[in-house]
């Protein structure tokens, strides 16, 4: 099928010589592939879960059922000594290593399956006079530029589930109030930060307009490493692109703001302006957005975002940094 908005656009001939489209295919073996790979790691998963359960039970045993509020139990449940923190870190590191292994193995299997599934559609796009920019594994999609007259025929090709025009997104963030109880204003209650839960070894990623690497709240320091990648093919071709290309730097501010909400560890001027997970050891920035020269806002094309999602899911972190 063809997306309603694209159908209307084609019906009134309001389009250029070529359209950038996203073709969604109907073959989605992802859940089955991941389940098959998980079975290969079942012994490691079971061992990890056993250790995790034992640790959790030991912490839960500290719970005081006489308290009126469950929040009052946080201090007891998560007041860990050095040995317990070391145990938790070991469990988390094993979990991350296992998840990475499963993800990469499943990604390799998916690529073989989806390459074969996408090949006939790619050939049909070329036959219709189009050009394939890239394909994705995460959603089994094909991003291509095609003559408008070819869209109808392409939509009827076997395996094609849906065709949409690559469209622009806008980022909005007017405020960043505390609403997650990580550090509640009510001092009679305890939040995650009060118990040392500030992010740890987890690697949060933001897909936005980049990151101001010189911002004092997010610059690299001891215990923190940034990883980054950008993709701005559709953006760079837009008339509203500021023609400032191409780096991970944020020329609009939205991406830096969002990254700060996640992982800012404050600055000399504002030491208390902390991100929700300000203790993370890695902060991953994926830049698919830019400063819109017409509106001044943060804009992003879906196709650029898809490319970075695929890249983030399928690329080992060790070689992630600096990929253009």
Output the 3-class SS for the chain: CECHHHHHHHHCCCCCCCEEEEEEECCCCHHHHHHHHHHHCHHHHHHHHHHHHHHHHHHHCCCCCCCCCHHHHHHHHCCCCHHHHHHHHHHHHHHHHHHHHHHHHHHHHHHHHHHHHHHHHHHHHHHCCCEEEEEECCCCEEEEEECHHHHHHHHCCCCEEEEEECCEEEECCCCCCCCCCCCCCCCCCCCCHHHCCCCCCCCCEEEECCCCCCCCCCCCECCEEEEEEECCHHHHHCCCECCCCCCCCCCCCHHHHHHHHHHCECCCCCCCCECCCCCCCEEEEEECEEEECCCCCEEEEHHHHHHHHHHHHHCCHHHCCCEC
Domain check: are 261 and 323 in the same one? yes
Average pLDDT over residues 147-171: 90
> How much is the pTM?
0.67
Q: Kindly indicate the confidence band of residue 72, based on its pLDDT and cuts at 50, 70 and 90.
A: low
Domain check: are 160 and 173 in the same one? no
pLDDT of residue 177 exceeding 90: no
> Residue 24: its pLDDT value, please?
95
> Residue 135: its pLDDT value, please?
94
Domain check: are 175 and 199 in the same one? yes
Average pLDDT over residues 3-25: 83
> Residue 178: its pLDDT value, please?
45
Joined tokens for residue 54: 């034992």
> Residue 86: its pLDDT value, please?
84
Average pLDDT over residues 106-128: 95
Domain check: are 324 and 304 in the same one? yes
Domain check: are 197 and 149 in the same one? no
Domain check: are 202 and 112 in the same one? no
End of a domain among 166, 181, 210?
Answer: 166
- Selected residue with higher pLDDT from 27 and 80: 27
Domain check: are 194 and 130 in the same one? no
Domain check: are 189 and 249 in the same one? yes
Structural domain that includes position 211: 168-324
Average pLDDT over residues 55-71: 72
Domain check: are 18 and 128 in the same one? yes
> Residue 173: its pLDDT value, please?
42
What total of structural domains would you count in the chain?
2
Domain check: are 152 and 243 in the same one? no
End of a domain among 124, 141, 166?
Answer: 166
Indicate the average pLDDT of the chain: 82
Domain check: are 133 and 211 in the same one? no
Domain check: are 159 and 172 in the same one? no
Average pLDDT over residues 45-73: 78
Average pLDDT over residues 262-274: 76
End of a domain among 166, 181, 197?
Answer: 166
pLDDT of residue 303 exceeding 80: yes
């Amino acid at each position: 099928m063809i997306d309603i908005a694209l159908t209307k656009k084609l019906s009134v001939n309001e389009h250029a010589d070529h359209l950038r489209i996203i073709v969604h295919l109907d073959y989605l073996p992802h859940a089955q592939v991941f389940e098959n790979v998980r079975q290969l790691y079942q012994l490691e998963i079971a061992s990890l879960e056993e250790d995790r359960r034992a640790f959790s039970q030991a912490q839960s045993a500290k719970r005081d059922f006489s308290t009126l509020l469950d929040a009052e139990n946080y201090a007891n449940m998560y007041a860990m000594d050095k040995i317990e923190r070391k145990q938790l870190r070991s469990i988390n590191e094993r979990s991350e290593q296992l998840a990475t292994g499963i993800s990469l193995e499943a990604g390799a299997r998916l690529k073989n399956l989806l390459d074969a599934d996408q090949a006939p559609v790619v050939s049909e796009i070329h036959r219709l006079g189009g050009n394939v920019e890239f394909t994705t594994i995460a959603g089994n999609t094909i991003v291509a530029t095609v003559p408008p007259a070819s869209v109808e025929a392409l939509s009827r090709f076997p395996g094609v589930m849906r065709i949409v025009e690559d469209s622009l997104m806008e980022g909005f963030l007017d405020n960043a109030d505390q609403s997650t109880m990580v550090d509640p204003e009510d001092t009679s209650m305890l939040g995650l930060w009060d118990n040392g839960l500030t992010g740890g070894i987890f690697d949060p990623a933001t897909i936005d307009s980049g990151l101001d690497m010189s911002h004092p709240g997010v610059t690299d320091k001891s215990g923190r490493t940034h990883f980054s990648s950008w993709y701005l093919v559709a953006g760079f071709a837009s008339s509203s692109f500021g023609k400032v290309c191409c780096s991970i730097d944020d020329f609009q501010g939205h991406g830096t703001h969002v990254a700060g909400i996640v992982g800012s560890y404050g600055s000399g001027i504002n030491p208390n302006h902390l991100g929700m997970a300000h203790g993370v050891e890695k902060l991953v920035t994926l830049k698919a957005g830019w400063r819109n020269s017409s509106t001044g806002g943060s804009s992003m094309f879906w196709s650029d975002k898809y490319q970075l999602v695929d890249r983030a899911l399928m690329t080992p972190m060790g070689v992630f940094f600096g990929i253009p």
